[in-house]
Structure 1
Amino acid sequence: MSIIPTMIKSKEQYEELISREDPLLVYFSSQNCNVCHAVLPKVMELVDEYPLEVAQVKVDELQEIAGQSLVFTVPTILVMFEGREILRESRFIDFAKLERTLSLLQP
């Protein structure tokens, strides 16, 4: 099974996704960020084990969403559950912490 991230195209789409009850991982990245490109495959490999949706926000195109979400550096990962942020990791991603959080969301 391989998860393909949903590309966020609008503020409305983003707000609808983050308000859901189901677990969601939001990956904020930039086209010109080499770290973002290196981290994304590792994130996708990790989340493949868990029942959650993954969305990607390209901050170059959607600066308003990044600002409203208080994302000031990329990559940033938000894990949402029941419409609330339960984990935020920025720049240097702690994969062990991310995995522990995702394991708590298992049914």
Structure 2
Amino acid sequence: MNHFPELTNIAEIDHFIDTNRLAFLYVSRQGCSVCHSLLPQVESLMENYPKINAVHIRAEQVEEVAGHFSIFTVPVLLLFVNGKEYIREARMVHMDLLAAKLDRLYTNLDRLD
């Protein structure tokens, strides 16, 4: 299983979103049991979508991430398509519903330009 690389500041995060057609952010916080149990499941799921570039952001290291993306709870999963937020899942993420959304996105990739 691939682990998501970590980004440690807003400039890196914005650059990542701007330079990747499909940019996925996994935002977590230390001490969040849901965050830690969900991360390996999401990393495993994302292996099915190689066109999506994914990173991990630790909210305690990048404190301004909450205000920058209007995050009120963790974990938060954000998918940007061509720089625009396309999917947002927070706290209790249903993996089957997330997979269905990603499947639908993959099916319609050519229409998203």
Question: SS where residue 44 of structure 2 aligns?
Answer: helix
C-alpha deviation, 1:67, in angstroms: 1.5
Structure 2 residue runs without a partner (length 5+):
none
Count of paired positions: 106
Q: Which structure has the larger Rg? A: 2
Q: Is 1:86–2:81 an aligned residue pair?
A: no
RMSD between aligned residues: 1.4
C-alpha deviation, 1:21, in angstroms: 4.5
Hey, what does 1:7 align to over in structure 2? 6
Structure 1 residue runs without a partner (length 5+):
none
1:39-54 correspondence to structure 2 within 5 Å: 39-51=38-50, 52-54=52-54
Aligned pair in 2 of structure 1 residues 9, 16: CA closer, same or farther (>3 Å)?
A: same
Deviation readout 1:31-56 (Å, 9 max, x if unpaired): 11111000001101111110211111
Q: Partner letter of residue 15 of structure 1? A: D
Aligned pair in 2 of structure 1 residues 23, 96: CA closer, same or farther (>3 Å)?
A: same
1:14-53 correspondence to structure 2 within 5 Å: 14-51=13-50, 52-53=52-53
Whole-Å separation in 2 of the counterparts to 1:85 and 1:72: 16
More helix per residue: 1 or 2?
2
Whole-Å separation in 2 of the counterparts to 1:15 and 1:59: 15
Whole-Å separation in 2 of the counterparts to 1:43 and 1:21: 19
Q: Partner letter of residue 96 of structure 2? A: A
Q: Partner letter of residue 91 of structure 1? A: R
Whole-Å separation in 2 of the counterparts to 1:104 and 1:81: 13
Please say if residues 20 and 53 of structure 2, whose CA atoms lie closer than 8 Å, have aligned partners that are also in contact. no
Whole-Å separation in 1 of the counterparts to 2:66 and 2:29: 11
Whole-Å separation in 1 of the counterparts to 2:26 and 2:74: 9
Q: Partner letter of residue 26 of structure 1? A: L
